[in-house]
Amino acid sequence: MSVPRRVALVTGGTRGIGLGAATALAGEGFDLALAGQRDADAVAPVLDTLRQVGGRVLYVTADVGEAGDRVRLLESVRGTFGRLDVLVNNAGVAPRPRADILDATEESFDRVLRTNLKGPYFLTQAVARWMIAERQADPAFEACIVNVTSISATVASPDRGDYCLSKAALAMATRLWATRLGRAGIPVYDVRPGLIRTDMTEPVGEKYDRLIDEGLLLQRRWGTPEDVGRAVAALVRGDLSYSTGAVLLVDGGLTVPRL
């Protein structure tokens, strides 16, 4: 009998850090379910590239901040693959506009917290229930959940307070879910990127180019989505199998205290 391929759901998996994670997991032999807000036609070239690795790829247009979209997303995954082994909560948005906390708007706050916190929190709830049922049916079933947070969980940026709050809360959500799911044998991890070269960081690229040159990082370069993808893949493989709830920093040494 052939061994069924494992399935990973990566939210925001067609660009940036999410694509880095999806590419790494495809290389590990996973079939992929990807969720994003762009039309399928817009992401078709990315999906084709991922399929060339050899696995199946499902794309669902969905907003993780919307309850109905989360239900539809998981129904699509269940209908296509019949299983889900790994969840990578990566989808996130930046403040719009980026503004000092004295000037920030409730509209931006609600949008950021809905996508960056509420969405992954309740998507994890639904997926965890599914994973627990799978483990009860088959004790050999191995599952894993990874939250992609940010150094902004601990590093204060007053010009994007809503984003920092969302990532700090998601970091706590990792601890909460790790605590609750430990008895079920489902590890939950926090991958915490620093300065990663993506379309989200492009508007502040020149600022951080200068700061990197001045020694902001111990490793004087931008991080890449591939750097984060390798970290996600290591956790999913079980390389840190006795470390549920752990934070894996991918920040080039930015948060190392120095004198």
Name, in order, each residue with C-beta under 8 angstroms of 184's C-beta and a sequence gap of 6 or more. Answer: 128, 131, 132, 135
The catalytic position among 163, 189, 208, 242 is 163
Strands 247-250 and 144-148: unpaired
Known active-site residue 242: no
SS (H, E, C) the chain: CCCCCCEEEEECCCCHHHHHHHHHHHHCCCEEEEEECCCHHHHHHHHHHHHCCCCCEEEEECCCCCHHHHHHHHHHHHHHHCCCCEEEECCCCCCCCCCCCCCCCHHHHHHHHHHHHHHHHHHHHHHHHHHHHHHHHCCCCCCEEEEECCHHHCCCCHHHHHHHHHHHHHHHHHHHHHHHHHHHCCCEEEEEECCECCCCCHHHHHHHHHHHHCCCCCCCCCECHHHHHHHHHHHHHCCCCCCCCCEEEECCCCCCCCC
Residues catalogued as catalytic: 163
